[in-house]
Amino acid sequence: MVNKAKKQGTTYESNIVKRLNEHSQFKAQRFAEGGSNDMGDIQLFVNEEEYFIEAKSRQNLNAHQSLDKAINKSGSLNTILFWKKLKKSKGNSRRSSDGIPEIVSMSYELFVKLLNNAK
């Protein structure tokens, strides 16, 4: 039996892949669990450029540390952190989104690169 947190993570990753693949210029896929070769959760190609996505669905997250760890795992500055913040609502046994559904974080270097490549 898969634990609850792992199932929740897989569901969130699959949701991100589905939404990204709705854009014709994007090709996204989930990575298989890589152990020591783990480069992230999702591989994304935009035209010929490769990006790595680390997806987190949890109540609390240190975004700075998580993005740094994700960049080190992928070995690429083309790394993005998706975070879906969850909170427990009164009278509800399931956690739900807190505020906007998710945030997307990246390094300053990637941000500038993307802006310079914007049409």
> Is the pLDDT higher at 119 or at 19?
19
- What number does CATH give the domain 4-117? 3.40.1350
pLDDT computed for residue 88 by the predictor: 67
pLDDT computed for residue 94 by the predictor: 57
Residue 35 has pLDDT above 90, yes or no: no
- Tell me the pairing of strands 79-88 and 49-58: parallel
Which helix (H) or strand (E) segment holds residue 58: the answer is: strand 49-58
pLDDT computed for residue 26 by the predictor: 97
pLDDT computed for residue 109 by the predictor: 97
Residue 1 has pLDDT above 60, yes or no: no
Task: Please state, rounded to an integer, the average pLDDT across all residues of the chain.
Answer: 88
pLDDT computed for residue 43 by the predictor: 96
The CA distance from 28 to 32, in Å, is 13
The CA distance from 101 to 42, in Å, is 19
Segment 4-33 shows an average pLDDT of 92
pLDDT computed for residue 34 by the predictor: 64
Phi, psi (rounded to 5 degrees) for 3: -75, 160
- DSSP E strand boundaries for 2-48: 26-30, 42-46
pLDDT computed for residue 99 by the predictor: 65
